[in-house]
Amino acid sequence: MKYILFATALFIANLSNAQDNTFPTNTETGLAEYTKVVTTSGVTAADLYARGLAWINDYYPNPSGTIKTNEAGEKLTCKARFKVVLTDKKGNTTVQSYVNYNLTFEFKDGKYRYVIDRISWDKPSYYDVTKWENKDDPMYQADTYPKYIEQTMAYLDELIAAFEKGMNTPAKTKSSDW
């Protein structure tokens, strides 16, 4: 009986770990998408916009090249990318490709929304990262795709944590005292 309980517990643990390594998807499109509305009571849309813009300027090495839409006080849209790498048995890492994504902030008094979508592998045609999860695909690469998924999810989790922290930090205002 102990073995059956242990095997059941192990199966459930593996099942929950497997579910943790899946991308959140848009219910309409089925494509990878992270979205959240964050309430920040007592903060105006203009202040939230200033915080978002300050965070983008601090976080990205080339913020002017990253920002694609800048609707003052209302919306910021960014397009960025990051590297996915593989490490061989000797510990050498090689860049395999890039993962592209769009990040959109929308601001209202007391809240903001972020959407990370169009998360795709850098290929000649659009290749949504959710395709890395399809083990039935004849092109599935069992030795690399799980590593790509892990790196992509880790990067996006760190990105979300960084901008949520940045959005909780009031933007610095320049002093007019000279």
Per-residue pLDDT of the chain (178 residues; tens, 9 = 90+): 433 433 333 334 343 334 467 999 999 999 999 999 999 999 999 999 999 999 999 999 999 999 999 999 999 999 999 999 999 889 999 999 999 999 999 999 999 999 999 999 999 899 999 999 999 999 999 999 999 999 999 999 999 999 999 999 887 766 666 6
Rg of the chain over Cα atoms, rounded to whole angstroms, equals 20
pTM here?
Answer: 0.83
**Boundaries of domain holding 109:** 23-167
Helical segments of the chain, H only: 2-20, 45-59, 63-66, 145-167
Does any domain span residue 7? no
Domain assignment present for 18 = no
Looking at the 3D structure of the chain, how many domains does it have? Answer: 1
Q: Is residue 2 part of a domain?
A: no
